[in-house]
Structure 1
Amino acid sequence: MLKKEKLATEEERNAKDLLDRTLDNMNQEFNEAKNFAEALKIENRDFKNAFEKMRIEHQEKMADLCNREEEAKKQVATWEQMYREWMATMERRVNNLQVTNEELQSWLQEENPDTSSKTAGHGPPADRR
């Protein structure tokens, strides 16, 4: 019986050692998993912060781009208006020059009736060779 008790005690001790080693391994794996989860949480927080920073920068850049686009549209509209005004002024000037030219032509014809045939074509006088 003593042998049986020794054998049972030894088996209990071996089982306890196995249980202790298994428990230590499980605790070590748990701690590693906990540390890994904590590292992932930190990395996730860093990614969230970086994403938020980029999102804000993107919003600011888009707002700036929209503002610049609106300013460009206003500037183009201003240029278009200035161009229309310039064209109207040029048309008036051309019309005034045409009227003045016609008046001068008429005056010249009245002053020199014998040269009217030479200037009627609005070109240089014919060569008399």
Structure 2
Amino acid sequence: MSAQNISCLLYQAEQQLLQRQLSDFETLLADDFIEYGTSGQIYHKQLLMDSLTNQNQKGDAGIVISQFHCVQLSTDLVQATYQTKEPLNKNRVANRSSLWRRYQGQWQMCFHQGTLVSQDQE
């Protein structure tokens, strides 16, 4: 698979995760997934899945991805970096980085970090 194809595939996977569907979290997040969120909280796969089940939080909240870029670190490891803007959350902007690992032929996110850049004051 070419670098461009991997980049397109992972962009689509990142977009899917923004839809906050339990089935996507089950397949696209590795079992050992860890996230350092923009809030400073640390999240694991099961915690995120439980929050979807318990709070019924679904939908992408209009989050827009820009400046998406992938770097292949090894045959089975890719870093995706990008910026998000959340129009429904005071236009909050965050820089984001994800590590995607190919496991048994499928790409799964094993790490994610979001760093808050700005937020409109209202």
> Normalised by the size of structure 1, how large is the TM-score?
0.17
Higher relative contact order (CA 8 A, sep 6+): 2
> Normalized per residue, which structure has more helix?
1
> Normalised by the size of structure 2, how large is the TM-score?
0.18
Q: Of the two, which has the highest radius of gyration?
A: 1
> Normalized per residue, which structure has more strand?
2
